[in-house]
Chains A and B, each alone.
Chain A
Amino acid sequence: MAFLDNSGDIILDAVLTDTGRARLAKGDGTFRIAKFALGDDEIDYALYDKTNPSGSAYYDLQILQTPVLEAFTNNTATMSSKLISISRTNLLYLPSVVLNEVFGGSGDINSSSTARNQTAGVFYVAVDDDTNTALAGVSGVIDGVDGSGGNYVRVDQGLDTDEVSPQRELDSDLVETQYLIEMDTRLGEILSRDGNNLATISFIDDDQIASYYLSLGTDLKFVSEITNNKKISDGAPGQVIDGPRGTSIQFKVQASIDLNTSTFLFSQLGSTLGTPPSGATSGTYEYIDSNIRVTGVTTGNRIDIPVRFIKKTL
C-alpha cells in the first residue's frame, strides 16, 4: 500500500473491506453499518516530545508529520489500535493487558503452567497424542488434543505500574469486562482452561479468522476477576500486574481436526523444524507459527500471543 498524498487538503480514502464486500454480495441484509471507531495504527506515541525546548507546539510535530498508508481491504489488517472514549479527562494511567507467565505451576490445577517455552518464545500446541508424548519433557506445551493437561494461556489486565498500589481499586470504568479472542480457525479452537468447554465462535470472517467474545459473569470458565491485591514485592505469587488489577482471561487451544489427522496444512502454511525442541524425543517435527490475538473490547488493549502448532511426523 502506498502513502496518501499529504501535500494539500486533507483527503479521506475509503474502501469496503473484503468482509464488507462479502456481506454486500450475500444480499441478506447483513451489510449494515451500525457504528464506527477511530484508529491510530501508524502513530508512534514515543515520538511525543514533552521536553522539546522549542515549546509545546513542537511536542507532537513528528507525530503530525507521520505519513499515512492507504486503506487496507483486509479487515484483520487495519484498525488494530483504536481510540478510546472515557468521559474523564484526568486519567494519568490506563490499564494494559499482559501475558501472565508466572501464575501456574505446582500450586495450580493439574500442576499446569502458564509460561511459554522460554527457548522458542512460543506456546507449543501439540496437535496429536504422539506429539504430546514426544514433547512430555518440553516446557510451554499446550495439549491440543483434548486439553486434559499441559499448559494454558493467561492474560491479566490492570495498571501495570508500581507507582500505584494494587490495593487501590481499579476504577470501574477501566475494568475490562469483555475480551475478544481472534485465531485462525483452520488451526484450532479456544478451549476452557479445564479442557471441558469449547468457547462459542461469534463469527468467522472471510480469512478464516474466528472471533470469540467472552464476557465477565457470562463465560465463567474464561473470564474472572483478579482478587489478589497484594504487591508483587510483598509476595503476591502468580501476579504480573504491579498496580491495581482488573480481570483475567485464561484458555487453552484445541488443534483442528485437519492438524490432528493430516500434514496438509503443515506443508502449506508451515515448515519442518531443523532440530527437535529441547527435551523432545528425536524425530521429525512439522510446525505452523501463528498468533492468537486477545483484545479488551471495552478498553481496546490487545496482545498477540505467539503459538506454534507442532506435529511429530516421524
Chain B
Amino acid sequence: MATVFKNLLSNDVATTRTLLNEAIPITGSIVSGTYADKNIKYYSHGMFESVYDYPYLSSSANHIFDITYGYSPTLSSSANPMNAKKLNIYNQMAQVLAGYDVNNNVRQFDRDGDLTGGDKLDSCVFLNYSRLLVKDEVKKGSYTLTLLSGSTLITLGDYGAQNDYRVNSPSGEYGVLYTSSTSLPGTGVGLIYYQAGVAVITSSVNIFPSASNFNSVYSITGTGDYVRNVWRNNLLNNTTELNSTIYFCRANNNEFNYSSNPTYLSGSKIRTKNVSSDPSVSYITSVGLYSADNELLAVAKISEPLKKDQTNELTLRVRLDY
C-alpha cells in the first residue's frame, strides 16, 4: 500500500522545558542624559514616570521600566506633597507584592522577608520593569543596581539569591537586595520580585542621601527624577520559559523512497532509475506535521536536501516551542 503519511506514535513525541536567559544592561546614560529626558514620559496624574530606551514619541522606542514612590500610613502627613498618592502607591504595591495578613490588612514590605517580625520598609522607591525586559521572570542572583550615593558608588544586588530566596509573597518568588555580597541577614535594603519584575528599594539615607526630601519636598516624579539622576548602571538577566514538543519523524529504510514531485516521473517512469533494481532515491527538503484529518499544522524546512533511499534511515527531530 502506498502512503504519504506516517503516524506519530507515543514514543515519537517528547516534551521538554528550557529556560533561556538574556543579559539586560540599563545604563545611567539611557536613564538620564543621552536623550535629554525625551525618553521620560510623565503623566498628568503624576503617580509614576515611564522610562523608554529612545525618545518615546518615536515608534522605535520601547518602554523599559517605570519609577514610582510611596510610603506606608505610618509616615502619612497632610503637609507632604502628593500624600494621598504616595500612600496609594505604597498600599497598591504592598497588596499585590506583600499580600494581606489573616485580618485582611495589607502587609508592609519586610526587610528580610520574615513576616513574623523584624524591620519593615516604610517608604520605598519602586522600579517596575516592563515585560519586554523581564520576559517570564528575572533570573535569581543576576540583579544589580549601581547608584551614586553622595560621592560614592553603591551597588545593590540579590547576592546569593539563586540559593536563598523567599516564597511567601502572593506574587511569586522574591529575593532580598543587599549592598554587598558579604552583607549579613537582616541588613537588606530592598526586595526584588522575580516573576513580577519589580524592585522595591528602601528610601534610606544610606542609599539616597536626599531621602528625607522624598516625603516632605519631592513629588513622586520628583523622587523618580532624583533616582534617575543617581542611577549609574543596572544589570539583570531575564528568563524565558520555553515549553517544547519534539517530534521524532523517523523515516525507515523502506519508507519515503518515492516522490509525488511532478518532475520525479517522465512518462510515468522514475527519472532516477534505469532498471527496476536501481535504488529508489528521493530528496527531503521539508517535514509537514499534520492533524488526524490531514490538515497541515506545522512545517519545518531543512537547510539542504537530504538524500533518502533504501540504504539509509533518518530521524528528523522537529521542535515546536510554545
Seen from chain A, the residues whose Cβ lies within 8 Å of a Cβ on chain B are 4-6, 10-17, 19-20, 23, 30-46, 48, 50, 59-60, 63-64, 66, 68-73, 75, 78-79, 81-87, 89-96, 159-161, 163, 173-174, 180, 202-203, 205, 211, 213, 243, 296-302
Contact = CB atoms under 8 A, between A and B. Distances in A.
Interface stretch (B30-38, B156-164, B281-289): B281-289
B100 interface: no
B295 A203 contact: yes
Contacts of A75: 295-297, 299
Given A13-B301, A19-B297, 13 more contacts: A17-B299, A39-B286, A40-B305, A43-B283, A45-B263, A81-B259, A81-B264, A82-B260, A83-B282, A89-B254, A89-B257, A92-B275, A93-B269
A43 B286 contact: no
B295 to A, nearest CB: 6
Contacts of B305: 40, 42-43, 63-64, 66, 68
Contact of A85 (B4, B286, B287, B296): B4
A41 B261 CA distance: 7
11 contacts: A4-B304, A6-B304, A12-B287, A15-B300, A19-B295, A37-B287, A46-B266, A73-B299, A82-B288, A94-B258, A161-B269
Most chain B Cβ neighbours within 10 Å, of A69, A84, A174 = A84
B292 A35 contact: yes
Contacts of A95: 268
Interface stretch (B145-153, B193-201, B306-314): B306-314
Given A81-B260, A301-B260, A39 B297 contact: no
A300 to B, nearest CB: 3
B274 interface: yes
Contacts of B16: none
Contacts of B262: 81, 302
Most chain B Cβ neighbours within 10 Å, of A23, A30, A40, A87 = A40
B269 A16 contact: no
A90 B275 CA distance: 8
Given A40-B284, A68-B302, A85-B255, A159 B268 contact: yes
A81 B268 CA distance: 16
Nearest to B252: A85
B286 A84 contact: no
Contacts of A59: 272
For the residues of A in contact with B, the DSSP-based class is loop
A60 B306 CA distance: 11
B75 to A, nearest CB: 47
A180 B5 CA distance: 14
B316 interface: yes
B268 A94 contact: yes
Contacts of A296: 260
A60 to B, nearest CB: 7
A78 B292 contact: no
A85 B254 contact: yes
A33 B289 contact: yes
Nearest to B5: A35
Contacts of B301: 4, 12-14, 68-71
Nearest to A304: B262
A89 B263 CA distance: 19
Given A50-B272, A91-B276, A12 B300 contact: yes
Contacts of A48: 271-272, 281
A79 B308 CA distance: 17
Contacts of B274: 50
Given A33-B298, A83-B259, A84-B260, A91 B265 contact: no
A15 B319 CA distance: 9
Nearest to B277: A90
Contacts of A20: 289, 296-298
B247 interface: yes
A1 to B, nearest CB: 9
A90 B288 CA distance: 27
Most chain B Cβ neighbours within 10 Å, of A36, A50, A174 = A36
Contacts of A174: 2
